Amino acid sequence: LPESSLPVAASATVEEKTTEEQAEATATEQETKSPIRLADILQRRLQTGRIAEYGFDDLAKNETASAGEGAPAAKLTGGATQTPGPVGSGLSLDGENGLTTKAGGEFRRSDPFSISLWLKPATHHDRAVVLHRSRAWTDSGSRGYELLIEDGRLSFALVHFWPGNGLRLRSLSPLPVGQWTQVTITYDGSSRADGVGIYVNGSPVRTEVVRDQLTKNITASVKELAVGNRFRDLGFKGGAIDQLRIYSRKLTRLESRWLYLTDARPNNLSEFLYNVSDRLLRELYYDLQPEVDSAKEALKAARVAKCNVEDGVAEIMVMRELPEPRPAYILMRGAYDARGEEVPRALPAALSQNWTPDSPEDTLSRLDLAKWLVDPANPLVARVAVNRFWQAIFGQGLVATSEDFGMQGQPPTHPELFDTLTHDFVSSGWDVKRLLKQIVMSQTYRQSAAVTPERLAIDPENRWLSRGATFRLPAEMLRDSALAYGGLLVKQVGGPPVKPYQPAGLWKEKSGKVYTRDERDGSWRRSLYTYWKRTSPPPSMMTFDASNREVCMVKRQTTMTPMQNLVLLNDPQFVEAARAIATDVLREFAPQPEQIAGTAMQAVGSSDADSSTASKASAQNENTNESENRVENTTAEGRELSDDEIVQLTGQVFLRMTSRRPSSDEQNVLTKVFTDQLAYFRENGQAAKELLAIGDYQTEQPLATNTTSQARLAALATLAGGLFTFDEVIVKR
C-alpha cells in the first residue's frame, strides 16, 4: 500500500509536552514504581481485553463457565474429567476428548491476541495438539492458529496454508514431563514471526523460526477454539490443562510474569513487586499511555487495510527449493527401505551432452531442469507439445503414441513436417496461438472428410492425412457446443470454478457433503471452469470418456455407447440447451406485433386519406385492435403452421446445429418428428409444461403463453434435443 493511504499515528515526544503534561506523566511513571500501586495496575490491566478465563473446578452439565462477563461457556467433549491442578482442579485429557469455546474463534492475522494456560504433559510427545482454531490438519492446510508440542518442544503457528503460507516458532528447550508448566503466547497482529512471544512460567524462552511467510488470512469456516484434540491429528494424550485465559491484546512481559506468579506463587508477589526491573516497568508505563493506545489503533487499522488488499490477490501454489536438497538413493530391488548408492542431481547424460548448466553441478536445481527442458538444443519437450496440439486438432498426433516418444513408441508419419513445426514453434517463442493458426489454415486441415473407396483402401486409419479429420468431440467441447447452439454459453474468461447440473446425492454418497448447483450463468460457463471433485467427478463428463484425474492421461479413449445418447437426450444441461435453440428459432420466425400493427395502420392511413382527422383516428384504433388480435392468433393462440413454415422452422434448427441445410430425405424426417411431437404435446399439455420447466432458461411470454404455443415450443425443443444424437452434431469433420 502507498504510505499516504495508511493511517498514521500521532506521536508526541516528552520535549513537546507542556510543563503540566510532563508533571502528569512523571506522576504516572512514579505510580508504576510504587509496589502497592503497581499491583493494583496489574490486576486491572489483566481484566482489560480479557475475552474469557476458564477454570475447571465446576463442570456442571459438561460445561465450565468463564470468569469474564459475557463470555461464552466452554463445552467439554469426549468425557474429559477433572484432575488436581495448580489452581484448584484441572482437566485430564486422553487425546480424543477436550473442550471447545467460541472465545478466540474470530481472531484474524491483523488482530493482536494472547492465550495463556497451564500444561502437564505425561510423556515426551513427538507431536501433540494442545489447542487450535482450525478445521483439520491436512484437510484444510491447518488454516487458523495452533499450539502444538513437537519433539517435546512448544510450537506455535498462524497458518493460511501450511507449509507454503504461514509462520511458525518453536521453543529450543523441551517442556518438562510430568509437572505443571504455565505457557503464554502473545501476538501483535503483524503477520511476522518476530511479533510472536512464547513464555514459560512467566519468562520468555528462546525460539527458532521455522517459517516466516504469512501473507494471507488465517480465518476459515470454523469459529471455535478447541483444546486437546483435532480431527485426523494426534491429541494431547495423557496430558492435563488448567486456567485457560484468552485476551484480545498482546500482553506485556510484566503482565505475563504477573499472570504466572498470581497462580503459582501468590505469597511471593510482594518480593517480586519490590524487585521489578526498570525495563519491564518502562514497557508497562508506555503501554498505559493514551497516545500509545491511539498509535496501536492506527497501526491496527493500517494492518487491516493491508491485509484486505493482500487477501484479495489471487494465488496459486508454487514449488520452492528446500534449504538443503533431499538426498536420493538407488533402491535395491525397488524396496524403499533398502537404500543403495546415493544419486546426485543431474540430467540424463544421453540427452544433455551438448548442454552446459548455469549452476555448478553440486547445486543443480529445478530452475536448471526447466532451462534444459526449453533449450533449443533439447527439442524433445517442444516436439511433445506440438504433437499434443496436432492430436487435439486431428484426433491423432504425428506421432501416434503421444504418450511414448521412446524406443517402444512409433516414429512420426511426417518427420519433415514435424521438424519444421517444432523449429518454428520454438523460434516464435513457444507461441501456441500462432501454431494453432498455422495448422487450421493449412490445406491439409481444410480438406473434405469425405472418403473414396480407393483412399480408404490405401489409408484406412488416415495416417497419411488423405482426408479431413473425423472424431467425436471431447466431453468438454461437446457440452460447450451445446450451450453455444442455444446462445447460453458464458464467454467470460477467468474466475472461480462453478458447479453446473449434476444428479442429486452423488457427493453425499461419497463424502456426506451436499452439492449446491450454481444457477444460470454458473451452469452455463465453459466446461473448463467446472468444479471437479476427484472422488465424484461430473458423471456426464465421464460418460464421454473424460479422464477421472486419478492418473495422468495423455490420450483419451473415444467410445460410442448407448449411454452417451441417453445423456444427450435427458441430461438437464442438454435439454435446457435444446429449449434455448427452439426459443431462438421461434423468436426469429414469429412476426413481431409492432410490424403487423404498423402495416395495418399504414394501410388505413392510405385508404382514408380524404377522411376527417377524427375518422382517421377511429379507423386506426379499430385496425390496431384488429392487428393485435391477429398477433394474438399468430403468436399466442398459435394458428396452424403451413407445411412451408414447418420446413422453415425445422430446417433452421438443423442449420444451426450442423451448419448446412438438410437434404430432402433429412427434411422429411425432421418434419415427421416435429409434427408427431406437436400432436403429442397438444394432447399432453402437462408434459409440455414439464419439459419447458427444465433448467434456468426462461422462455419469453409470447412464445409460451398457452397450451398451443407451449406444445409448439416443446415439439421444436424435442427435435433439437434429438439432433444432439445426430452424427454431424457430435462428430468433428
The answer on pLDDT for 602 being more than 70 is no
What residue has cell string 489454415? Answer: 441
pLDDT at site 186: 95
Average pLDDT, the chain: 84
The answer on pLDDT for 601 being more than 60 is no
C-alpha cell at 351: 540427452
CA dihedral (364, 366, 370, 371) positive or negative: negative
The answer on pLDDT for 619 being more than 80 is no
DSSP code of 464? T
pLDDT bin (cut points 50, 70, 90) of residue 49 is confident
pLDDT at site 530: 94
pLDDT at site 626: 42
Specify which residues 146 forms β-bridges with: 132, 157
- How far is CA 532 from each of CA 318, 549, 564, rounded to the nearest angstrom? 21, 9, 20
Specify which residues 182 forms β-bridges with: 118
- Residue-wise pLDDT for 375-406, tens only, equals 888 888 999 999 999 999 998 999 999 989 88
CB 130 within 8 A of CB 200: no
Burial of 336 (0-12, 13-18, 19+ CB in 10 A): exposed
The residues, ordered by sequence, that sit 6+ positions from 354 with a Cβ below 8 Å of its Cβ are 377
Closest to 51 measured CA to CA, from 218, 247, 206: 247
The answer on pLDDT for 9 being more than 50 is no
C-alpha cell at 417: 513436417
What residue has cell string 513487586? Answer: 273
C-alpha cell at 445: 486441415
DSSP 603-651: HHHHHTTTS-HHHHHHHHHHHHHHHHHHHIIIIIS-PPPPHHHHHHHHH
CB 485 within 8 A of CB 460: no
pLDDT bin (cut points 50, 70, 90) of residue 641 is confident
Burial of 235 (0-12, 13-18, 19+ CB in 10 A): buried
DSSP code of 66? B
Give residue 234's identity as a one-letter amino acid code. Answer: L
pLDDT bin (cut points 50, 70, 90) of residue 6 is very low
C-alpha cell at 436: 494453432
Instruction: Give the residue with greater pLDDT, 247 vs 232.
Output: 247
Per-residue pLDDT, averaged over 524-544, amounts to: 91
CA dihedral (273, 279, 282, 287) positive or negative: negative
Name the region of 207 (left: φ>0; alpha: ψ -120 to 50; beta: rest).
beta
Hey, which of 61-70, 325-334, 344-353 has the most confident mean pLDDT?
Answer: 325-334
C-alpha cell at 483: 450451450
- Residue-wise pLDDT for 116-141, tens only, equals 999 999 999 999 999 999 877 766 66
pLDDT at site 557: 87
CA distance 147 to 99: 15
pLDDT at site 436: 97
Per-residue pLDDT, averaged over 360-374, amounts to: 83
CB 93 within 8 A of CB 239: yes
What is the bridge-based pairing of β-strands 328-331 and 127-133? unpaired
pLDDT at site 702: 65
pLDDT at site 609: 41
- Residue-wise pLDDT for 433-489, tens only, equals 999 999 999 999 999 988 888 888 998 988 898 998 889 999 999 999 999 999 999
Per-residue pLDDT, averaged over 50-70, amounts to: 85
C-alpha cell at 614: 377524427
- Residue-wise pLDDT for 187-211, tens only, equals 999 999 999 999 999 899 999 999 9
Per-residue pLDDT, averaged over 222-230, amounts to: 89
pLDDT bin (cut points 50, 70, 90) of residue 599 is very low
The domains of the chain, with CATH numbers, are 51-267 (2.60.120.200), 328-374 (no CATH), 380-458 (no CATH)
Per-residue pLDDT, averaged over 79-98, amounts to: 89
**Quick one: what percent of the chain has pLDDT higher than 90?**
49
Q: Which long-range contacts (CB under 8 A, 24 or more apart) does 435-444 make?
A: 435/386, 435/389, 436/389, 436/393, 439/389, 439/390, 439/393, 440/393
Lowest mean pLDDT among 58-62, 72-76, 400-404, 620-624: 620-624
pLDDT bin (cut points 50, 70, 90) of residue 110 is very high
Lowest mean pLDDT among 119-128, 538-547, 635-644: 635-644
pTM for the full model? 0.62
The residues, ordered by sequence, that sit 6+ positions from 427 with a Cβ below 8 Å of its Cβ are none
pLDDT at site 590: 61
C-alpha cell at 349: 547424460
- Residue-wise pLDDT for 560-577, tens only, equals 899 999 999 999 999 999
C-alpha cell at 500: 453446473
Quick count: other Cβ atoms within 10 Å of Cβ 146? 24
pLDDT at site 639: 65
Using alpha carbons only, what angle is made at residue 83 by residues 77 and 85, rounded to the nearest 5 degrees?
115
